[in-house]
């Protein structure tokens, strides 16, 4: 069954004012302006760049001005979320008692605080400036599906994406100071997720599908981009599956969509039908997901090695 979700992402460099307070105020005003532009496309979720309200400040200034939730900055953005009935991934320096985290704060459609993902891998500079590392990959189970967040330097460490993928996250939002590029496509392809980046720059935010293909890229002329994506999908290997594709199309026609990636030998199958789901079609036609196929191949290898070992022992 089609589960269409529209995601939007904002590219924003930040505005440096004459004082810290002016910088934060100017940033918040620009954030609200860009959010207002983003809702023209009626998205379900909007992602903002890393440390959005504090861009232009030094790391030390960011840490000193970290805000507890709820605070003045959060309240202004959450009010926007409530008025426009939209989820917002709002990255900021977040204070929790004596600790400061580089966080992605998730605001619900009702403007309420849903939770925070705390950057697991701050840079050495951040740690030296007083940022506390997070400890777990956070999964947010929303009405639109499971989403996760990775922040900037996290992209260099597999524990973050593995923690999200193991929990069947469908979309990973990536607020960052750097574009990520090939690394984002690699995460998307290897783990079968949509990657939505939001970069603190004039350009370079991307929306990438689970085959690692770029669906949209921001520019200085288009700092806000959006795409509608269908979360009723699976990534499958062509082996043992491709012969069945014609029979599936014969029965479901345009309600089942295939996107084949060659030479990688995998395909993305999504369902637009009201009466069934991708999972049901996989069961109906005895298909295997890529993950299931690789698991079966590993088990066959282990069985073969065990058999060889037994034969060797028997001969000995």
Burial class (CB in 10 A: 0-12, 13-18, 19+), 173: buried
Which pLDDT does position 50 carry in this prediction? 98
Q: Is 280 helix (H, G, I), strand (E, B) or coil?
A: helix
Segment 105-161, tens digit of pLDDT = 999 999 999 999 999 999 999 999 999 999 999 999 999 999 999 999 999 999 999
Mean of all residue pLDDT scores within the chain: 96
Please check whether residues 71 and 157 belong to one and the same domain.
yes
Averaged pLDDT, 161-177: 96
CB–CB of 135/158 below 8 Å? no
Q: Is the pLDDT of residue 254 over 90?
A: yes
Please check whether residues 221 and 269 belong to one and the same domain.
no
Q: Is the pLDDT of residue 314 over 80?
A: no
Please check whether residues 82 and 201 belong to one and the same domain.
yes
Distance in angstroms (rounded) separating the CA atoms of residues 175 and 69: 19
Can you give the length of the chain in residues?
Answer: 316
Q: Is 63 helix (H, G, I), strand (E, B) or coil?
A: helix
How is residue 255 annotated by DSSP? G
Residue 312: band (very low, low, confident or very high) from pLDDT cuts 50, 70, 90: confident
Distance in angstroms (rounded) separating the CA atoms of residues 64 and 93: 9
Q: Is the pLDDT of residue 43 over 80?
A: yes
Please check whether residues 18 and 151 belong to one and the same domain.
yes
Helix (H) or strand (E) holding 12: none
Distance in angstroms (rounded) separating the CA atoms of residues 84 and 31: 15
In the block, residue with structure tokens 């043992």: 240
Please check whether residues 285 and 166 belong to one and the same domain.
no
Residue 316: band (very low, low, confident or very high) from pLDDT cuts 50, 70, 90: low
How is residue 132 annotated by DSSP? P
CB–CB of 11/201 below 8 Å? yes
- The Cβ of residue 202 has, within 10 Å, a number of other Cβ atoms equal to 13
Does residue 166 lie in a domain region?
yes
Please check whether residues 12 and 155 belong to one and the same domain.
yes
Cross-strand partners of 138: none
Please check whether residues 81 and 124 belong to one and the same domain.
yes
Please check whether residues 193 and 213 belong to one and the same domain.
yes
Q: Read off the tokens for 311.
A: 């034969």
Please check whether residues 96 and 226 belong to one and the same domain.
yes
Does residue 309 lie in a domain region?
no
**Final residue in a domain of this structure, among 230, 245, 270:** 230
CB–CB of 92/67 below 8 Å? yes
Q: How many helices (H) and strands (E) does the chain have?
A: 9, 15
How is residue 89 annotated by DSSP? E
Which pLDDT does position 310 carry in this prediction? 82
Q: How many domains does the chain have?
A: 2
Please check whether residues 237 and 131 belong to one and the same domain.
no
CB–CB of 23/17 below 8 Å? yes
Residue 136 sits in a domain of what CATH number?
Answer: 3.60.110.10
Please check whether residues 176 and 216 belong to one and the same domain.
yes
Does residue 214 lie in a domain region?
yes
Q: Read off the tokens for 255.
A: 């309600």
Residue 311: band (very low, low, confident or very high) from pLDDT cuts 50, 70, 90: confident
Q: Which residue segment(s) compose the domain that 284 sits in?
A: 233-294
**Final residue in a domain of this structure, among 196, 230, 264:** 230
CB–CB of 1/270 below 8 Å? no
Distance in angstroms (rounded) separating the CA atoms of residues 192 and 171: 9
Please check whether residues 16 and 147 belong to one and the same domain.
yes
Q: Is the pLDDT of residue 17 over 90?
A: no
């Amino acid at each position: 069954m089609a589960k269409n979700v529209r995601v939007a992402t904002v590219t924003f460099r930040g505005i440096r004012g004459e004082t810290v307070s002016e910088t934060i105020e100017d940033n918040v005003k620009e954030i609200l302006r860009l959010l207002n532009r983003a809702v023209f496309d009626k998205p379900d979720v909007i992602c903002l760049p890393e440390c959005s309200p504090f861009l232009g400040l030094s790391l030390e200034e960011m840490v000193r001005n970290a805000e507890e939730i709820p605070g003045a900055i959060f309240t202004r953005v959450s009010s926007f979320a409530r008025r426009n009935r939209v989820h917002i991934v709002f990255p900021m320096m977040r204070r929790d008692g004596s600790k400061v985290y580089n966080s992605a704060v998730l605001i619900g459609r009702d403007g309420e605080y849903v939770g925070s993902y705390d950057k697991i891998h701050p840079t050495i500079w951040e740690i030296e400036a007083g940022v506390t590392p997070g400890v777990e990959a956070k999964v947010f189970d929303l009405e639109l599906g499971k989403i996760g967040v990775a922040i900037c330097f996290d992209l260099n460490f597999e524990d973050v994406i593995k923690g999200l993928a193991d929990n069947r996250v469908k979309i990973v939002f990536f607020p960052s100071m750097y574009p990520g590029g090939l690394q984002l496509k690699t995460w998307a392809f290897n783990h079968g997720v949509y990657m939505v980046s939001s970069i603190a720059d004039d350009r370079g935010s991307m929306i990438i599908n689970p085959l690692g293909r770029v669906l949209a890229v921001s520019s200085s002329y288009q700092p806000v981009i959006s795409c509608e994506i269908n979360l009723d999908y699976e990534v499958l290997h062509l082996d043992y599956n491709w012969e069945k594709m014609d029979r599936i199309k014969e029965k479901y026609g345009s309600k089942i969509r295939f996107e084949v990636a060659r030479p990688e030998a995998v395909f993305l199958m999504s369902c637009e039908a009201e009466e069934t789901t991708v999972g049901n079609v996989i069961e109906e036609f005895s298909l295997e997901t890529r993950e299931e196929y690789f698991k079966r191949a590993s088990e066959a290898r282990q069985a073969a090695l065990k058999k060889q070992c037994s034969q060797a022992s028997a001969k000995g």
